[in-house]
Amino acid sequence: LAKTTQPISMDSYEGQEVNITCSHNNIATNDYITWYQQFPSQGPRFIIQGYKTKVTNEVASLFIPADRKSSTLSLPRVSLSDTAVYYCLVGDILRGGSARQLTFGSGTQLTVLP
């Protein structure tokens, strides 16, 4: 069972790069790492996903070291609207058979200050 650990909160200023790290020491071979963003009174929203090395999309980058025991979400040049809770999710669901648990981290409250 992959347990995840994230910082409870982080503050940043507009225009800065923000890096949020998630620890998942017991990650399994089949597990993917996914990050979600959640605004108040809304459901989580997908940001980025990776298995190993580095992944980049139009909103973020995800860095995963070779041992995969942690991952870092990088948000370039944050704005006030990036203030939200960020969750990492580690898990796998086996098709048509016994299912593994999907484990969300405790979430990191990112506050972007002007």
Partner 1 sequence: DTAVSQTPKYLVTQMGNDKSIKCEQNLGHDTMYWYKQDSKKFLKIMFSYNNKELIINETVPNRFSPKSPDKAHLNLHINSLELGDSAVYFCASTPSAGADETQYFGPGTRLLVL
Alpha-carbon distance 33 to 105, whole Å? 11
Alpha-carbon distance 84 to 51, whole Å? 24
87 binds partner 1 (CB under 8 A): yes
Q: Which is nearer to partner 1, 41 or 81 (CB)?
A: 41
What are the strands of the beta sheet with 18-23, ordered from one edge?
A: 18-23, 70-75, 61-64, 53-56
Question: Could you say which of 14, 16, 80, 93 contacts partner 1 (CB under 8 A)?
Answer: 93
58 binds partner 1 (CB under 8 A): no
* Residues forming the site for partner 1 (CB under 8 A): 30-32, 34, 36, 41-46, 49, 51, 85, 87, 89, 91-96, 99, 101-102, 104, 106-107
